[in-house]
Amino acid sequence: MVRQQPLTLATPVIPSAYNNLDTVLKQIRSGLDNGVQQSFQNVDTIHYLRLVLLEAQPPDESGNSYPAKFVLGTDYDGDEDAQLTALATTCGDFIDKLYENCEGYPDAANRNPATRKAYLEKWRVKASAFFAGAPGRTLVQIRKENELREYILNLIRNGKWGSQSAKEIHAAIKTDVLSKTEFQWARESVKLPKENWLGMALLGLILLVLLPFIIIWILVIHFLYERKDKALGLTSSQIDGAHIRKLEEYEDFHNQNQFTQLLIMKPGQIRLITLMGLMLFAKSLVKNLFVKGKLMGIPTIHFARWLLMDDQKRMLFFSNFDGSWQQYLGDFIDKSGWGLTGIWSNTVNFPPTRFLFTGGAYDEEHFLAWSRYYQIPTAVWYCAYPNLSIKNVMNNTYIRNELMLNTTEAEAQRFLNRF
């Protein structure tokens, strides 16, 4: 199974070139909006690409300041080295026009795939946790499986099925598809990840053993930290409307959307360790449990990542999801408010929490306002399959696999109702 992975590069921007980079980003965005092919679209391993400009931040209350940074993120198939090579080779022009505005990029005379790659490698930031909605599905596979689904849908729609049973119809479709040279790949079924209950049991056991320690930890957080925490305390109407309008400018054009949040960690090692612990926990859940298109019950997320940067003082969160912001954030509260609260309450100004996992996101009005407050504009966003929801992606793979089965009547019926 080919793995999907997150690539994140965070690069300091030359202060005097910030505006130029901003202009370049706007050009790329308008190019994409108007259907101008970009070189990275030729890389057939990139599911999503996003470019974000982080403004320079003057010193905050704790005296931390941050220079302007440029962040490139992709969700890709295969290994990181190949992804970097593809960016440095296939997308040389694209990389050059972006990174020539960043610190230390090779001079025009010294730009080649090798120097580009060496440069990009320097700025990698490792994700603390990563979620893929349809693990193992490569971009090429997603595209092929959708073609297969469309082909079969047409067969079903145009067929004269008379009184044939589901099993007979399934068999007829199978024969037709397998007679086509372009669908020979469908003969091979793909192995899909399953929940690993043994792994979950092990995780449960570990948590059980650690329980006394975890309880003490949460009590310490509650009595020594949470009670002193400050919250943003604003509702949506009290947030700068211009900020939200700017975010909305890039939302709801397609059936998918993106979410980029830049958060500041609460000071102190205990918060950092809490977050790291929760990231570890999230990672094992993603690996063992959330392998069928849902992240903590949320059925609309294609990819999501959390990462720490700037000496672990700031957290960046990216996600690509189906539907609107309102649905997405609402789902977070409705389905995984506790998990969300556990992770995000380690960042400043989160709505007041009690015992790490309660309060917080469940304070709907303040949570939604907080969420928009820390969301930042994504400068450029690209999705290789804007017309497929994560449920569509999953369903298409089931179709491919079920096509090859020697089905019972019930299985054939389930197959046919997938269209």
Residues that bind another protein (CB under 8 A): 156-157, 159, 161, 164-166, 169, 235-238, 241, 244-245, 248-249, 251-253, 255, 299, 322-324, 326-327, 330, 333-334, 362-366, 387, 389, 391-392, 395, 412-413, 416-419
Distance CA 110, CA 405 (A): 55
Least CB distance to another protein at residue 297 (A): 8
Least CB distance to another protein at residue 150 (A): 9
Distance CA 269, CA 82 (A): 36
Nearest to 343 by CA among 316, 321, 372: 316
Q: Considering beta carbons, is residue 30 or 387 the nearer one to another protein?
A: 387
Q: Considering beta carbons, is residue 222 or 243 the nearer one to another protein?
A: 243
Provide DSSP, 395-413. HHHHHHHHHTS---HHHHH
Cβ neighbour number for residue 167 with a 10 Å cutoff: 18
Are residues 356 and 274 in contact, defined by beta-carbon separation less than 8 angstroms? yes
Q: Considering beta carbons, is residue 93 or 365 the nearer one to another protein?
A: 365
Distance CA 139, CA 153 (A): 21
Are residues 380 and 393 in contact, defined by beta-carbon separation less than 8 angstroms? no
Report residue 350 as tokens: 């989160």
Least CB distance to another protein at residue 416 (A): 5
Question: 130 - beta bridge partners?
Answer: 305
Are residues 86 and 45 in contact, defined by beta-carbon separation less than 8 angstroms? yes
Q: Considering beta carbons, is residue 314 or 372 the nearer one to another protein?
A: 372
Least CB distance to another protein at residue 235 (A): 4
Least CB distance to another protein at residue 368 (A): 8
Least CB distance to another protein at residue 92 (A): 30
The torsion angles phi and psi of 162, rounded to 5 degrees, stand at 45, -125
Are residues 270 and 216 in contact, defined by beta-carbon separation less than 8 angstroms? no
Q: Considering beta carbons, is residue 113 or 323 the nearer one to another protein?
A: 323
Distance CA 9, CA 54 (A): 12
Q: Residue 221 carries which DSSP code?
A: I
Least CB distance to another protein at residue 321 (A): 11
Q: Considering beta carbons, is residue 112 or 387 the nearer one to another protein?
A: 387
Q: Considering beta carbons, is residue 161 or 223 the nearer one to another protein?
A: 161
